[in-house]
Structure formats: structure tokens, C-alpha cells
């Protein structure tokens, strides 16, 4: 296989915008618009969609309509509909609404886990063991998203042994079907990604590994390519590049789904996503969230969306050619 060439190999994208994106928006995206967007994403060919989060409506009011959204979307049998759950209550709500998979969240760093979830990692883990038990009893898949796997904004580098310690406990004790290593605040860099993903795959070849990058420092796509080179085939991404903090100017969101699809398809990977359809969905977002989006592809268009030459092009050419004529 040629380096940097996809050779038709499949890459699976989990669209996390409806959860990771909408949860930080100050505008409430109306429930019927959410349903319409998710249906359009299903039609565009996404492999998985993180539809919503079954969290406290006081903590995340933007996702207070989780049940309605999951119940009203049209299910495409080729798409896995996943939902974030923080506790047993969330798991019961998600299972009742027929989520295909529960996405559990915990941080690899103690400071981040305490700040975000108000628990030590041990407390989170024992709570999530109960969630995994509820999922197992209902035969629903479990994925664990491990935040700050590539660095913590408060502690700096998180030792790789610590990251793998928690992976091991979730895979071997909690029976997780999949693990997502999350670069929550955009600290990952390509050689680190390659090292960690190779180590993960060597140790747990049967566990579904997904990577989740934020583009905070502009390294998102480079990290994805490094991960693919190391054998990863699954990525989270967010339509329009939604996500991040709307109150922090300059903070950016998840890697942008249409940018990832555009780049990988050019390199010969097969995402099964209809890029034009996906871009059509993303174009609906600015008016719903009330601001411009980071997506460079929506601004610049695809690589071969060509532009008309300037109106006086014929004259320019004539003048240029006339310069070659003998006088």
C-alpha cells in the first residue's frame, strides 16, 4: 500500500454535532429542527450519530428534549444511534427511548473529572459500572469516551499508563464494546496520537477504538491522518465544526465533519458519506445557532468548485499574447 493513500479503505464517522455541538450553544435549537437535521445526517450516510445526552436538564438545558428527539427521528438500519449518559437514571431514559448504544463519559485526569463531573475518577468508575450493568441487562452496547486522554488543561500531560489503566478497567471490568480516546481541549499532536493508538490497538485489537479531536490548536486533521496511519478507522466529528465554548473567543470545536470527509475522500479513503448532502445539512446550522461556523469548506467550497475568471479575462489574454508579437 502506498503511504498516504486510502486505496478505498473504509473510514467510519460518528457525527457528534447534535450532542457535543448543541450542548454548548446558547440558543435552543427547536426540537423539530434537531429531528430534521438528524434525519438528513442519516440520509447523508453517517455511520453513527450521537443524537443527544440524557443528562440533567438543569445542567444542559440545550438537550432537555432528549426523549422526544430520539423517539421522533427516522431510524436508518445502517446508522447506529448513540446517546451520552452520565448515570443510571440517564441509562434508563436512553434505553427506554431505544438508543442503540450508550456513550459513557469520564476523564482520564483527576482534576478534569472533578471539575466536569464533580466526582473522583474512582467514584465515576463505580457509577459507570452500574450503568454498564443496566446496559448489559438490556443488551445495549456501551462505549466509553475518555476525556483528556491526550492532555489535561489543568494537569498537562496525562501519563499514558494512566490513560491505559482506565481503558483496561472499562474494557476488562465493565465490558465496554468501544473506547473513544478524546482530545477534549485540542492538546493532541500527531506523533503522540500515533504512539498511543498503536499501543492501544496492540493491546486491545478486538475493542472498537474511536478518536475524538477538537481543532483548538489547528491539529485536528493532522491528528486524524496520523491515527489512520496507525490503524484507526473510526472518528468523531461535528458538522459545521460545531462545539467548543461560545463564550471563549478563538476556541474551536470538534474537527469539522465535512472537512474530514473532503480530505479523506481526496486521499482515496471511503467514508460512504455524500459530501454535498452533508454540506447542505451544515448550511442550515448558522441560522439555527445564531452565529457563523468554523467550517472552512462551507466558506471556500470543495477543492474543484472552480471560479469564473475575471470579467475582462479575454482582454487580459489578448494583451498578454500581443506582448509576444514582433513589433
**Minimum distance from residue 75 beta carbon to ligand COA (Å):** 23
Binding piece for Zn ion, criterion CB under 5 A, among 15-23, 261-269, 283-291, 319-327: 15-23
CA distances from 187 to 106, 191, 242, 325 (A): 17, 12, 18, 59
Between 20 and 65, whose beta carbon lies closer to Zn ion? 20
**Minimum distance from residue 48 beta carbon to Zn ion (Å):** 15
**Minimum distance from residue 70 beta carbon to ligand COA (Å):** 13
Instruction: Report how far residue 53's alpha carbon sits from residue 65's, in angstroms, rounded to the nearest whole number.
Output: 9
Instruction: Report how far residue 323's alpha carbon sits from residue 327's, in angstroms, rounded to the nearest whole number.
Output: 9
Total residues interacting with Zn ion, rule: CB under 5 A = 1
Between 73 and 188, whose beta carbon lies closer to Zn ion? 188
Between 144 and 297, whose beta carbon lies closer to ligand COA? 144
Instruction: Report how far residue 10's alpha carbon sits from residue 213's, in angstroms, rounded to the nearest whole number.
Output: 19
Give the number of other Cβ atoms within 10 Å of residue 282's Cβ. 25
Task: Output the DSSP codes for 198-254.
Answer: HHHHHH-TTSEEEEEEB-TTS-HHHHHHHHHHTT--EEEEBGGG--S-TTSTT---B
| Per CB under 5 A, 50 contacts Zn ion | no
**Minimum distance from residue 278 beta carbon to Zn ion (Å):** 19
Q: Which helix (H) or strand (E) segment is 164 a member of? A: helix 160-168
**Minimum distance from residue 243 beta carbon to Zn ion (Å):** 6
Residue of 309, 209, 286 whose CA lies nearest to 29 = 286
Between 124 and 271, whose beta carbon lies closer to ligand COA? 124
The item of ligand COA, Zn ion, none sharing an interface with residue 54, based on CB under 5 to 8 Å by kind, is ligand COA
Residue written as grid cell 469548506: 297
**Minimum distance from residue 112 beta carbon to Zn ion (Å):** 12
Among 20, 50, 65, 183, binds Zn ion (CB under 5 A): 20
CA distances from 247 to 25, 71, 232, 252 (A): 10, 32, 33, 11
Helix (H, G, I), strand (E, B) or coil at 300: helix
Instruction: Report how far residue 75's alpha carbon sits from residue 162's, in angstroms, rounded to the nearest whole number.
Output: 38
Binding piece for Zn ion, criterion CB under 5 A, among 14-22, 98-106, 114-122, 201-209: 14-22
Query: Can you give the binding site for ligand COA, defined by CB under 6 A?
Result: 23, 53-56, 58-60, 86-87, 89-90, 93, 105, 116-118
The item of ligand COA, Zn ion, none sharing an interface with residue 244, based on CB under 5 to 8 Å by kind, is none
Between 20 and 258, whose beta carbon lies closer to Zn ion? 20
Between 95 and 297, whose beta carbon lies closer to ligand COA? 95
Between 117 and 237, whose beta carbon lies closer to ligand COA? 117
Indicate if 152 belongs to the active site: no
**Minimum distance from residue 3 beta carbon to ligand COA (Å):** 36
Instruction: Report how far residue 16's alpha carbon sits from residue 240's, in angstroms, rounded to the nearest whole number.
Output: 11
Which residue has the closest beta carbon to Zn ion?
20
The item of Zn ion, ligand COA, none sharing an interface with residue 89, based on CB under 5 to 8 Å by kind, is ligand COA
Q: Which of 148, 152, 245, 256 is catalytic?
A: 245
Inter-residue contact 22 to 63 (CB < 8 Å): yes
Instruction: Report how far residue 102's alpha carbon sits from residue 94's, in angstroms, rounded to the nearest whole number.
Output: 7
Q: Which helix (H) or strand (E) segment is 282 a member of? A: helix 275-282
Q: What is the DSSP letter of 10?
A: B
User: Which residues participate in catalysis according to the annotation?
Assistant: 245
Which residues in this chain contact Zn ion in the complex, by CB under 5 A? 20
Amino acid at each position: 500500500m502506498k503511504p498516504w493513500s486510502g486505496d478505498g479503505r473504509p473510514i467510519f464517522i460518528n457525527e457528534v454535532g447534535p450532542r457535543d455541538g448543541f450542548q454548548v450553544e446558547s440558543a435552543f435549537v427547536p426540537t423539530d429542527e434537531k429531528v430534521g437535521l438528524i434525519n438528513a445526517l442519516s440520509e447523508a450516510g453517517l455511520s453513527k450519530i450521537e443524537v443527544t445526552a440524557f443528562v440533567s436538564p438543569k445542567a444542559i438545558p440545550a438537550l432537555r428534549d432528549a426523549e422526544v428527539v430520539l423517539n421522533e427521528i427516522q431510524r436508518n438500519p445502517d446508522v447506529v444511534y448513540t446517546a451520552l449518559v452520565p448515570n443510571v437514571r440517564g441509562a434508563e431514559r436512553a434505553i427506554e427511548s431505544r438508543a442503540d448504544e450508550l456513550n459513557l463519559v469520564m476523564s482520564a485526569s483527576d482534576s478534569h473529572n472533578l471539575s466536569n463531573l464533580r466526582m473522583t475518577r474512582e467514584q465515576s468508575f463505580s457509577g459507570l459500572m452500574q450503568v454498564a450493568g443496566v446496559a448489559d441487562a438490556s443488551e445495549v452496547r456501551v462505549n466509553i469516551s475518555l476525556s483528556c486522554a491526550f492532555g489535561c488543561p489543568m494537569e498537562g500531560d496525562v501519563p499514558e499508563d494512566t490513560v491505559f489503566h482506565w481503558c483496561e478497567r472499562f474494557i476488562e471490568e465493565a465490558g465496554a464494546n468501544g473506547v473513544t480516546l478524546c482530545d477534549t481541549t485540542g492538546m493532541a499532536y500527531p506523533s503522540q496520537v500515533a504512539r498511543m493508538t498503536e499501543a492501544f490497538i496492540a493491546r486491545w485489537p478486538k475493542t472498537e477504538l474511536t478518536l475524538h479531536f477538537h481543532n483548538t490548536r489547528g491539529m485536528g486533521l493532522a491528528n486524524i491522518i496520523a491515527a489512520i496511519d496507525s490503524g484507526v478507522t473510526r472518528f468523531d466529528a461535528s458538522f459545521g465544526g460545531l462545539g467548543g465554548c461560545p463564550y471563549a473567543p478563538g476556541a474551536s470545536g470538534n474537527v469539522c465533519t465535512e472537512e474530514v470527509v473532503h480530505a479523506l475522500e481526496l486521499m482515496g479513503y471511503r467514508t460512504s458519506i455524500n459530501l454535498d448532502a452533508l454540506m447542505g445539512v451544515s448550511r442550515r446550522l448558522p441560522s439555527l445557532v445564531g452565529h457563523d461556523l468554523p467550517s472552512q469548506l462551507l466558506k471556500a467550497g470543495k477543492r474543484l468548485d472552480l471560479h469564473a475568471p475575471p470579467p475582462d479575462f479575454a482582454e487580459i489574454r489578448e494583451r498578454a499574447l500581443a506582448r509576444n508579437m514582433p513589433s
